[in-house]
Amino acid sequence: MKDVMLTVEGNKALTKDVYKMTLYGDCSDITAPGQFINIKIDGLYLRRPISVCDMNWNELTIIYKVVGKGTEALSKMVKGMEIQALTGLGNGYDMADAGDKPLLIGGGVGVPPLYNLARLLIEKKVKPTVILGFNKKDEIFYKKEFEKLGCEVRVTTVDGSEGTKGFVTDAFPEDYTYTYCCGPEPMLKAVYKTAKTSGQYSFEERMGCGFGACMGCSCKTITGYKRICKDGPVLRKEEILWED
Amino acid sequence: MGRLSVNLCGIELDNPVIPASGTFGYGYEFADYYDINCLGTFSFKGTTKEPHFGNPTPRIAECTNGLINSIGLQNPGVDKVISEELPKLKKCFKKPVMANVSGFAVEDFAFTCEKLDKEEQVGWLEVNVSCPNVHGGGMAFGTNAETAASVVSAVKKVTKKPVIIKLSPNVTDIVTIAKACEAAGADGISLINTLLGMRINLKTRKPVVANKMGGFSGPAIFPVAVRMVYQVANAVKVPVVGMGGVSSAEDVIEMMLSGATAVEVGAANLVDPLASKKIIEDLPKTLDKYGIDNIKDIIGGVN
């Protein structure tokens, strides 16, 4: 974990309320796909955790949806402005279990962290199949970016306005070696029930500190209490305990 | 004895800055980021007789200049704290630590304190009768002078270590409670715990935290804390540990002027993991700025 100053390189809308921000600065503490950064925002007390979409040397990409005051403030930032962020938070995905045909599943703003994972898998000569789930056509983002990496991309929309009509579980391929996913909890639960393989699931929870101190984001797992920010956000399928 | 040192219940602190319970885990996690031996001491995560998961999530709500938490005393229980957490702490912290203890019945407090009394590294027992996040325990003790005093008496019987009682601000008369605890043998008084608060999400019209209410902390509560520390410090002879929204070296000085012998830093650690370290580093030049030679000289120095 490192508290760094990052400079905004770009910040543009991908859809009506989803933005892509590129940042320049010290990314040396980011060591795995699926980690997040915790951003200090003027006028707000708590930092805002946002997953890393991609990272390359000193350049970082985040994709976020405007849902409240914090993300709204972020959406108004322009090139040259600086943000303070704690970087390298969370465990991230472990690529060692991928096998030769991993399946990556993202729902809505759960899609971004899978991009870095997909790119790093392809660097290892592993070609993932990617399912991107959205509500409707005008909410879709990053389909082309995944295709450019060389992934097989399947899109689902709840209303059928593009790709397969329905949920991510309606577009599962026959054959895959492992599952990596990130998205809203109902989607994670559906994937958990449908997937034939083991996998890693990235969870979201309201956080206080983002680095394991406050116990604000605790959850129960088969292997004990875990903090989503520090012991997660990625949990292995075998340890997930669903609470209704 | 440097210009920052203070004496808290017979134990010398290199400086008066103490990360508050619940914002600093069991210490060793912050040791990954800096040498925590720079701290006066710290108060570890509230520990109970049995393990507790705490409240359902979400447990956190943003507020203007602060936050609401409803953790609910999540901790692995005193036995595991002794067998697993303290050995990890021993490797990175060479000073006496403040053990924060909570409970749901008078006997629970005594049970946990008796076990922690045997731990060499524990310097003080900070007995928390003020957690707003547990039903039927915690704050129920701290909002009544007699029950708060009964916890002090029970704990004093099982330990020779200094007992600091941590009080709630959610009361009509803090002074009466503080005096009752002093009369029951408390060696020190720490305050304030969080203020009971609540936020509502305008879109869902539901409370932001699952437990509906939680403890409000952060810079927004600092004036309330200064006021209550002042009231209590003027009414008791035992040392007072002041806390509530402290975020800077200047806040430390203000809290000490109001009567605190030492100062805990809470919420600030959650937004900046280096907050306590930075405050300590800023203290000498801040003392210079206000013409203070020795920090001990300003305790209760409000004119």
Q: What is the CATH number of the domain that holds A179?
A: 3.40.50.80
| Whether pLDDT at A129 is above 60 | yes
Same domain, A60 and A145: no
The residue among A67, A89, A111 that closes a domain is: A89
CATH number at residue B232: 3.20.20.70
Is residue A228 domain-resident? no
Q: How confident is the model at residue A178 (pLDDT cuts 50, 70, 90)?
A: very high
Q: Do B57 and A219 touch (CB under 8 A)?
A: yes
Torsion of CA B146, B152, B154, B155, to 10 degrees: 160
Q: Mean pLDDT across the stretch A175-197?
A: 97
pLDDT at B137 (0 to 100): 53
Is residue B1 domain-resident? no
Q: Do B60 and A220 touch (CB under 8 A)?
A: no
Is residue B260 domain-resident? yes
- Residues of B with a catalytic annotation lie at 131
Query: Residues 20-49, chain B: which have Cβ within 8 Å of A?
Result: 22-25, 29-30, 32-33, 45
Number of domains in chain B: 1
pLDDT at B141 (0 to 100): 78
Is residue A69 domain-resident? yes
Nearest by Cα to A199 from A215, A183, A210: A183
Q: Which residues of A touch B222 (CB under 8 A)?
A: none
Domain that holds residue A52: 2-89
Same domain, A6 and A83: yes
pLDDT at B80 (0 to 100): 97
Cβ neighbours of B278 (radius 10 Å): 16
pLDDT at B133 (0 to 100): 63
Query: Residues 62-91, chain A: which have Cβ within 8 Å of B?
Result: 69-70, 86
Query: B142 in helix, strand or coil?
Result: helix
Is residue B303 domain-resident? no
Is residue B268 domain-resident? yes
Is residue A209 domain-resident? no
CA–CA separation, A83 vs A6, rounded Å? 5
CATH number at residue A33: 2.40.30.10
State which residues of chain B have pLDDT below 50: none
Render B31-82 in DSSP notation, one character per residue: GGTS-GGGSS--BPPPB-SS-B--SPSP-EEEETTEEEE-----B--HHHII
Domain that holds residue B292: 6-298
pLDDT at B139 (0 to 100): 63
Question: Which candidate from A69, A205, A214 shows the least CB-CB separation from B270?
Answer: A214
Query: B286 in helix, strand or coil?
Result: helix
For A214, the closest chain B residue by CA position comes to B23
**pLDDT tens digit sequence for B5-56:** 999 999 999 999 999 999 999 999 899 899 999 999 999 999 999 999 999 9
pLDDT at B134 (0 to 100): 63
Nearest by Cα to B242 from B174, B291, B180: B174
CA–CA separation, A227 vs B217, rounded Å? 21
Same domain, A120 and A54: no
- Please state, for a pLDDT cut of 90, what percent of chain A lies above it: 98
Same domain, A85 and A99: no
Same domain, A115 and A156: yes
**pLDDT tens digit sequence for A91-108:** 999 999 999 999 999 999
Number of domains in chain A: 2
pLDDT at B142 (0 to 100): 81
Are residues A239 and A223 in contact, defined by beta-carbon separation less than 8 angstroms?
yes
Same domain, A99 and A184: yes
Mean per-residue pLDDT of chain A: 96
Exposed e or buried b for every residue in A160-189, given b needs 16+ CB within 10 A?
eebbeeebbbebbeeebbbbbbbbeeebbe
Is residue B125 domain-resident? yes
Render B75-107 in DSSP notation, one character per residue: B--HHHIIIIIHHHHHHH--S-EEEEE--SSHH
**pLDDT tens digit sequence for A15-64:** 999 999 999 999 999 999 999 999 999 999 999 999 999 998 899 999 99
Q: What is the CA radius of gyration of chain B?
A: 18
DSSP state of B10: T
Q: Say yes or no: A1 contacts chain B, CB-CB below 8 A.
A: yes
